[in-house]
């Protein structure tokens, strides 16, 4: 009878600790909307529930210089200590899916490179030199620096290693970063 009480007390305390941890990660995530970063506005900070192979994560949406939109997604429980940038395809224009890196435990980011549209549509770049520069190299550079600050603020430590993956335009993004 006494051991039943001990087991019940243990299960109850584990359950309460897990609930407190989930609440604190949600609160910690939501607090990032107040994070002050140069030329950056965080517009949303929320915990997204686990679905399939994608673990629960803290999703940050924001903009740099109000035009370069980005998303940062950070696993709440199973972070592997690494940072991942997901390059976009075509002319970008939207933020690519971050699910593949999240499912592997990475804190991951991506950007629309400063313009909206389908990956095959470059009309937003026509006659707009600043949009062309953002697309060419500034977007991914600024988002990478900002996302790493967000990751550091959320986890309390920087990522141990950083990775980039992309093909098509994502390949261009990687090469431009290396060249610069």
Q: Beta partners for 74?
A: 58
pLDDT band at 94 (very low <50, low <70, confident <90, very high): confident
Rounded to the nearest integer, the mean pLDDT of the chain is 85
pLDDT(123) > 90: no
Q: Beta partners for 83?
A: 107, 162
Q: How far apart are CA 42 and CA 126, in angstroms?
A: 28
For 15, the 3-state DSSP assignment is helix
Q: What is the mean pLDDT of residues 54-72?
A: 97
pLDDT band at 7 (very low <50, low <70, confident <90, very high): very low
In the chain, the percentage of residues whose pLDDT exceeds 70 is 87
For the chain, give every domain's residue range. 2-179
In the chain, the percentage of residues whose pLDDT exceeds 90 is 59
Q: What is the mean pLDDT of residues 161-170?
A: 85
pLDDT band at 121 (very low <50, low <70, confident <90, very high): confident
Could you tell me if 70 and 109 are in contact, meaning their C-beta atoms sit under 8 angstroms apart? yes
117 burial via Cβ count (<10 Å: 0-12, 13-18, 19+): middle
Q: How far apart are CA 115 and CA 18, in angstroms?
A: 41
């Amino acid at each position: 009878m006494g051991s039943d009480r001990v087991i019940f007390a243990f299960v109850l305390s584990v359950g309460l600790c897990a609930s407190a941890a989930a609440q604190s990660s949600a609160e910690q995530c939501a607090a990032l909307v107040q994070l002050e970063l140069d030329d950056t506005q965080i517009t949303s900070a929320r915990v997204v529930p686990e679905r399939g192979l994608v673990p629960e994560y803290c999703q940050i949406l924001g903009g740099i210089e109000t035009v370069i939109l980005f998303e940062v997604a950070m696993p709440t429980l199973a972070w592997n200590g690494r940072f991942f940038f997901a390059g976009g395809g075509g002319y970008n224009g939207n933020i690519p899916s971050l699910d593949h890196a999240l499912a592997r435990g990475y804190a991951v980011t991506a950007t629309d490179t400063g313009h909206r549209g389908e990956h095959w549509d470059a009309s937003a770049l026509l006659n707009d030199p600043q949009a062309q520069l953002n697309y060419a190299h500034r977007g991914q550079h600024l988002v990478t620096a900002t996302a790493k600050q967000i990751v550091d603020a959320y986890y309390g430590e920087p990522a141990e290693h950083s990775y980039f993956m992309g093909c098509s335009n994502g390949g261009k993004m990687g090469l431009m970063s290396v060249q610069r």
